[in-house]
Structure 1
Amino acid sequence: MNATDRTPADLLRSALAGDAARPLVTFYDDATGERVELSVATFANWVAKTANLLQDELSVEPGDRVALLLPAHWQTAVWVLACSSVGAVAAPQGDPAAADVVVAGPDALEPARACTGPRIAMGLRPLGARFPQPPEGFADYAVEVPGQGDHFSPYLPPGPDDVALALGGRNGADAEELTGAQVVERARRDAGALGLAPGARVLSGLGYDDWRGLSHGLLAPLAAGASVVLCRHLDRLDASGLAAREVSERVTHTEA
Structure 2
Amino acid sequence: MNAIDRTPADLLRSALAADPARPLVTFYDDATGERVELSVATFANWVAKTANLLQDDLAAQPGDRLALLLPAHWQTAVWVLACSSTGVVADLDGDPSAADLVVAGPDTLEAARACTGERVALSLRPLGARFPQPPAGFADYAVEVPSQGDRFAPYAPVDPDAPALAFGGAGELTAADTVERARKDAARRGTGSGSRLLSALPYDTWEGLSAGLLAPLAAGGSIVLCRNLDALAPEALEQRRKSERVTGIVR
Q: Shared fold (TM-score greater than 0.5)?
A: yes
Whether 1:26 and 2:37 are equivalent positions in the alignment is no
Structure 1 residue aligned with 2:228: 233
Structure 1 residue aligned with 2:67: 67
TM-superposed CA distance for 1:168, in Å, is: 2.8
The residue correspondences of 1:98-117 to structure 2 (distance < 5 A) are: 98-117=98-117
Structure 1 residue aligned with 2:86: 86
Structure 2 letter corresponding to 1:214: L
The residue correspondences of 1:201-212 to structure 2 (distance < 5 A) are: 201-212=196-207
Secondary structure at the residue paired with 1:42?
A: helix
Structure 1 letter corresponding to 2:65: R
CA distance in structure 1 between the aligned counterparts of 2:103 and 2:248, rounded to whole angstroms: 30
- Relative to the length of structure 1, the TM-score reads 0.97
Structure 2 residue aligned with 1:172: none
CA distance in structure 1 between the aligned counterparts of 2:98 and 2:167, rounded to whole angstroms: 13
Moved more, 158-167 or 185-194: 158-167
- Relative to the length of structure 2, the TM-score reads 0.99
CA distance in structure 1 between the aligned counterparts of 2:164 and 2:10, rounded to whole angstroms: 12
Whether 1:179 and 2:165 are equivalent positions in the alignment is no
List structure 1 runs of 4+ shifted beyond 6 angstroms. none
Question: Percent identity at matched positions?
Answer: 74
Structure 1 residue aligned with 2:211: 216
TM-superposed CA distance for 1:124, in Å, is: 0.3
TM-superposed CA distance for 1:241, in Å, is: 1.2
Whether 1:188 and 2:183 are equivalent positions in the alignment is yes
CA distance in structure 1 between the aligned counterparts of 2:60 and 2:157, rounded to whole angstroms: 13
Secondary structure at the residue paired with 2:187?
A: helix
Number of matched pairs: 251
TM-superposed CA distance for 1:247, in Å, is: 0.4
Whether 1:15 and 2:10 are equivalent positions in the alignment is no
Structure 2 residue corresponding to 1:198, chosen from 173, 193, 209: 193
Whether 1:255 and 2:250 are equivalent positions in the alignment is yes
Secondary structure at the residue paired with 2:164?
A: strand
Structure 1 residue aligned with 2:51: 51
Deviation by residue 1:6-50 (Cα, 9 ceiling, x = unmatched):
011100000001001000000000010000000000000000000
TM-superposed CA distance for 1:51, in Å, is: 0.1
Structure 2 unaligned spans of 5+: none
Measured on the aligned residues, the alpha-carbon RMSD in Å equals 0.5
CA distance in structure 2 between the aligned counterparts of 1:197 and 1:179, rounded to whole angstroms: 23
Structure 2 letter corresponding to 1:163: P
Deviation by residue 1:75-109 (Cα, 9 ceiling, x = unmatched):
00000000000000000100000011100000000
CA distance in structure 1 between the aligned counterparts of 2:158 and 2:52, rounded to whole angstroms: 15
Secondary structure at the residue paired with 1:94?
A: coil
CA distance in structure 2 between the aligned counterparts of 1:168 and 1:145, rounded to whole angstroms: 26
CA distance in structure 1 between the aligned counterparts of 2:35 and 2:210, rounded to whole angstroms: 21
Secondary structure at the residue paired with 2:137?
A: coil
CA distance in structure 2 between the aligned counterparts of 1:80 and 1:70, rounded to whole angstroms: 11
CA distance in structure 2 between the aligned counterparts of 1:180 and 1:15, rounded to whole angstroms: 17
Structure 1 letter corresponding to 2:82: A
TM-superposed CA distance for 1:167, in Å, is: 1.4
CA distance in structure 1 between the aligned counterparts of 2:30 and 2:7, rounded to whole angstroms: 32
